[in-house]
Amino acid sequence: MHSVSLLGCLCLSLSLTLSSASPQLNLPTPQPEVFYNGYTPNVATTPAQLRADRDRDQRYGPPYSDAGGGGNTDDGLDDFRFGQTDDERMRIGYGYPTPRVNFSDSPFSGARFSNHNYGPISSTTERNYGNDANPNGRYSDVPYSSQGERNFNPNDQYNYNNNPNVEFVGINNRNRFENPFLSNQDRFNLNQGYLERQRYQQDRRYQQELEKLRILLVESDQKGSLECTANVAAQWNFETNVNDFTQTEALNAQQRYVEFQRITAEQSKRINKDLIFDRRLYRQLMLQSEVGPNALPLDVLDRYNRLLNEMLFLYNSAGICAYQQPFQCDLHYIPQLKDIMAKSRDWDELQHTWVEYHRKAGRGMRDSYEQLIDVMQEVAYVNNVTNGGEYWYLAYESGNFRQDMDIVWEQIRPLYEGLHAYVRRKLRDYYGPDRINRIAPIPSHILGNMYGQSWSNVLDILIPYPGRKLIDVTPRMVEQGYTPQLMFQLAEEFFTSINMSAVGPEFYRNSIFEQPLDRRVLCEPSAWDFCNRHDFRVKICTDINQRSLISVHHEMAHIQYFLQYRHLPKIFRNGANPAFHQAVGDAIGLSVSTPRHLQTLGLLQRSLDESSYDINYLFTMAIDKVAFLPFALSLDNWRYDVFSGNANKRTMNCHYWNLREKYSGIKPPVLRSEKDFDPGAKYHIPANIPYIKYFFSTVLQFQIYRGLCRESGQYVPGDPRKPLHQCDIYRQPAAGNILKTLMSKGASQPWQEVLEETLREGRLDGTALREYFAPLEEWLRQENLRTNEYVGWNYDGDYCKRSIETAGLQIFGGYYNGATGQKSASYLYPLIILIYLYFSLRLL
């Protein structure tokens, strides 16, 4: 009787499991076939949402997409759809409310607060940062006294000894944020209570109920796959035939699927998971229980969605007047402003464009974003996370994720500083020393990009060897009669040559490789998993050029990922974390873009052994990939700080520029104030979409690439004949076997374990990127020595002030972008303040 009573909560959850499969879950009935010839008038969308949804891809993009060459995304609307996977959408939420459902008679009737291994804590809980009393380390959710004993508040609803809904406390003290790579641990670790675990596992009744749970999960997985298929089909129909009707169907299908996921998550949360000792089963239930903002009460969820829609409307409608043309005031970021920032070399025009766009796009949404910060605390609470900052990095399964990423950045920083110093000198030579200080941060508006996140558009100013053209095989591709289908067949052959799967004829029948003539298609490259284990497609309007060739291989890498993990339950059919899909595609792009591979394809006639070609090639890669890293890191570390309360709302714009200066050595073109809200000019901020995955994937692609090249013998550290940047894994089955192992694990294990088991590296490592760019780093070091260039940057004055009046005075002071250095600035600043005070007193 004792063992049966210990199983009470689990048995109560499953007592009716096998009698009737569908009523057990009380889930929406799946529809295997979906017809799109009927009109559904009831669309849960508001006029504000419709205005905000200027482009379908802003909210309903496919799981995996790419914008050319597998490189880093650019800005705004054209880089949202990179990798916002289904599970990530679940965490971050959708831009419309979903109805609530009463679960009082659900068979998943376990304790509401059972199994809070990472749950809410009372006001008496102390944050322990790792000591003898609490070896779990930072952000442990268990209250400890100074002597290391647990403190229990008898009035605390989350006290497991006091809560009548919680029957089992023997293994309940699991910390979600323990090191997931310790033995027998992961984010949902099962490392405790060995004796109880052994006793339960030997109990026949327990085994019977556990088997019922497995069967129940299989049925839930099947229904989830059907619902997912119906939703993806509706999104595909819209993106490949854009009209009002297909958009309505896409909205309806999306809403149905979100509701299905929410119900499944809510019912999964009601299972007492303390008695589930199978790590895989436990992980499946925990991942299925994460519901994101959809767990909010209806009124709060409505507020969350309304805030996002208001900010997106401001972002989408932001338009400015052209420089020195006050009557031409319909310039939007895409396409006009993006084009100006890329092509103009007029300092004043670039500054005007930057200042006006940040004023129009960002300033108006500051109040809404301050409200969103409050709502994100509630999102964290309902998802059993301590604060909005921890929730923001939840998918990466680490209690010290921000610190981990800072460590990775420190590994890469020397390369970035050398690149930054060289770029600053070239820009100073171009614009003049009176505008760019030789030891100061670089003004962000002259880097060819609205956000200074990629410097590729100013390559004409920066290129190390202007007389050496970059490799471009486009003319040879046209000459040899390349077609879009041939390019995909080459990509398929690339993967089969490394012992991976062929895609099959269904892929070619269903995919779209070219822009149809009879309908509008959203042409951005994207790979689609229809959730049925056999239907995988690509949508891309292929051009016959080198960039498209690399992009085609990138998309085919996503398809290979789908193929390799299709045997897993749906909840595991994903990358090991949100960055893995993108990183794998980009790692393949690194191999395909090498001169060696292009020679193998017959697109390059001769070997380019001159170091000048190598330096130009690596430099072109660096001003895209390396320059991007500090921007991505600073953007989401800023969000972590404001969501966790580390940064005050009243100073959050200045905090943003402090981080940009700290990580990037970039400053605004004019002094900013707390009246501004400059982060809001980046699409991912009003859309509330995580950005750290781009930092992670950019670093990880080199780590994966190094592992593949090393295993295949194409890269030998220290051997100048086999440098990493010249490695091509084509026709190297050893590399393909590693890639297959990594892909086949999907999300069934923590990403740290996936890396350890495939690459023998249990963490993200920036040294691979340094090794790839080693020849360029050495060239930059010698070049900066030759020109006596200062490496790094010094703070040369305030970039942001709370006081609008003081900020205005300093802008017109004239020293901000001057090259006279800190000394002249330090004399000028007190003089300006004295003048300001003098006139203020006279006015009084």
The percent of the chain in helix, strand and coil, each rounded to the nearest 5, is: 55, 5, 45
Single out the residue in 289, 308, 332 at which a domain terminates: 289
Residues contacting 699, CB < 8 A, separation 6+ = 408, 412, 629, 764, 765, 766, 768, 769
Active site (annotated) includes residue 445: no
The pLDDT assigned to 616 comes to 94
**Domain-embedded: residue 335:** yes
305 in the same domain as 285: no
The pLDDT assigned to 841 comes to 53
Cβ atoms within 10 A of the Cβ of 792, count? 13
**Domain-embedded: residue 620:** yes
**Domain-embedded: residue 12:** no
335 in the same domain as 210: no
Q: Is 480:546 a contact under the CB 8 Å cutoff?
A: no
342 in the same domain as 251: no
The pLDDT assigned to 194 comes to 54
pTM above 0.85?
Answer: no
Q: Which of 524, 555, 771, 789 does the annotation list as catalytic?
A: 555
Q: Name the residue with tokens 């992961």.
A: 186
207 in the same domain as 324: no
368 in the same domain as 430: yes
Active site (annotated) includes residue 684: yes
The pLDDT assigned to 269 comes to 84
Could you give the angle at the alpha carbon of 774 between the alpha carbons of 771 and 778, nearest 5°?
A: 155
Half-sphere exposure of 334 (CA within 13 A, CB side): 13
Q: Which of 684, 711, 777, 789 does the annotation list as catalytic?
A: 684
282 in the same domain as 213: yes
Number of domain units in the chain? 2
The pLDDT assigned to 628 comes to 98
346 in the same domain as 246: no
687 in the same domain as 722: yes
Q: Name the residue with tokens 């996140």.
A: 453
**Domain-embedded: residue 11:** no
The pLDDT assigned to 468 comes to 80
Q: Checking DSSP bridges between strand 319-320 and strand 672-673, what pairing results, if any?
A: unpaired
Q: Is 104 exposed, middle or buried (0-12, 13-18, 19+ CB in 10 A)?
A: exposed
Please write the tens of the pLDDT for every residue from 748-801: 999 999 999 999 999 999 999 999 999 999 999 999 999 999 999 998 888 898
The pLDDT assigned to 109 comes to 30
Tell me which residue range forms the domain holding 657: 297-373+403-468+610-799
* 2 is annotated as contributing to ligand binding: no
Single out the residue in 289, 309, 342 at which a domain terminates: 289
* C-alpha–C-alpha distance, residues 842 and 844, integer Å: 5
340 in the same domain as 317: yes
Nearest to 244 by CA among 39, 485, 529: 39
Single out the residue in 262, 289, 316 at which a domain terminates: 289
The pLDDT assigned to 46 comes to 39
Residues of the chain with pLDDT under 50: 1-63, 67-187, 189-192, 806-830
619 in the same domain as 674: yes
Please write the tens of the pLDDT for every residue from 503-516: 999 999 999 999 99
The DSSP line for 651-684 is: GHHHHHHHHHHHHH-EE-SS-EETT--GGGGSTT
302 in the same domain as 208: no
| φ, ψ dihedrals at 671, nearest 5° | -65, 140
**Domain-embedded: residue 411:** yes
**Domain-embedded: residue 789:** yes
**Domain-embedded: residue 555:** no
304 in the same domain as 261: no
CATH number where 683 lies: 1.10.1370
The 3-state DSSP class for residue 332 equals strand
| φ, ψ dihedrals at 56, nearest 5° | -55, -35
The pLDDT assigned to 797 comes to 81
**Domain-embedded: residue 841:** no
The 3-state DSSP class for residue 310 equals helix
